[in-house]
């Protein structure tokens, strides 16, 4: 085969990553070969080994195309100027995260990470999930503590328990939705649950 222009080469690289998303999601990471990925992108294994060192490298490249939603959730919660209303800040951060995850690429990659890959090379999805969960819990605890100081929380509800309840609820919702996203809309059901939970927690 002949050499292609730089733009074409970049396009085949993206096509390989797209194909990897498709087949990883369908068959799981461990059960898919580089041959299957290449064929699904209309290429051969030669293209894969030119653009990526091996399967693990390709997997990492696939992850780099999306950012973790919870990280952005924490970021955007900090950036939102609602520091005087921490509970509303939590709500808006959740809605931001929901709409991010509804984008097909985000949804597919996260579904692969959480439900379709095992420990794999030097990538440990469970460790990544643990980090994300811990970050989320810390961020939520801060916001609920702030809310408690302002007297916004129902009496008898500590900020630690509130943060734990909220984080578990969010995690369960994400797992449910990623398992089969066509059953319900994440934004609709997510905001309904978030609003209900915050309403229960408000003084």
Contact footprint for DNA (CB under 7 A):
1-9, 12-13, 33-35, 38, 43-47, 49-51, 54-55
Choose, by CB under 8 A, the member of 130, 138, 150, 203 that binds a copy of itself. Answer: 130
Sorted by sequence, the CB contacts under 8 Å of residue 54 that are 6+ apart come out as none
Site for a copy of itself in 153-182 (CB under 8 A): 154, 156-157, 161, 164-165, 167-176, 179-180
Judged by CB, which is closer to DNA: 3, or 183?
3
CA–CA gap between residue 81 and residue 75 (Å, rounded): 12
Please state the closest distance from residue 34 (CB atom) to a copy of itself, in A. Answer: 16
Judged by CB, which is closer to a copy of itself: 142, or 164?
164
CB 23 within 8 A of CB 32: yes
CA–CA gap between residue 93 and residue 87 (Å, rounded): 10
- The SS3 assignment for 123 reads strand
Q: Residue 142, interface with a copy of itself (CB under 8 A)?
A: no
Closest by CA position to 133, among listed 98, 174, 92, 104: 174
55 binds, among a copy of itself, DNA, none (CB under 5 to 8 A by kind): DNA
34 binds, among a copy of itself, DNA, none (CB under 5 to 8 A by kind): DNA
Q: Residue 105, interface with a copy of itself (CB under 8 A)?
A: no
Please state the closest distance from residue 99 (CB atom) to a copy of itself, in A. Answer: 19
Give rounded-to-5 percent helix, strand, coil for the chain: 75, 0, 25
For residue 161, CA distances in Å to 63, 130, 172, 177 come to 32, 19, 16, 24
Residue 123 — φ and ψ, nearest 5°? -100, 125
Judged by CB, which is closer to DNA: 49, or 184?
49
**Where do contacts with a copy of itself occur on this chain (CB under 8 A)?**
27-31, 115-120, 126, 129-130, 133, 154, 156-157, 161, 164-165, 167-176, 179-180, 189, 192-193, 196-197, 199-201
């Amino acid at each position: 085969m002949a050499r292609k222009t730089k733009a074409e080469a970049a396009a085949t690289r993206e096509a390989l990553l797209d194909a990897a998303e498709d087949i990883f999601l369908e068959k799981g990471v461990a059960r898919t070969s580089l041959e299957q990925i290449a064929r699904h992108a209309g290429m051969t294994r030669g293209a894969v080994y030119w653009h990526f060192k091996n399967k693990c490298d390709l997997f990492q490249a696939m992850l780099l195309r999306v950012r973790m939603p919870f990280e952005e959730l924490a970021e955007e919660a900090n950036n939102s100027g609602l520091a005087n209303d921490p509970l509303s800040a939590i709500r808006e951060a959740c809605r931001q995260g929901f709409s991010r995850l509804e984008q097909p690429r985000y949804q597919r990659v996260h579904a692969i990470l959480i439900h379709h890959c095992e420990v794999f090379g030097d990538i440990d999805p469970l460790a990544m999930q643990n980090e994300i969960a811990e970050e989320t819990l810390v961020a939520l605890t801060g916001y609920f503590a702030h809310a408690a100081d302002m007297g916004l929380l129902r009496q008898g509800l500590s900020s630690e328990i509130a943060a734990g309840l909220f984080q578990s609820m969010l995690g369960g919702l994400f797992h449910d939705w990623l398992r089969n996203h066509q059953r319900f809309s994440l934004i609709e059901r997510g905001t309904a649950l978030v609003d209900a939970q915050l309403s229960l927690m408000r003084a």
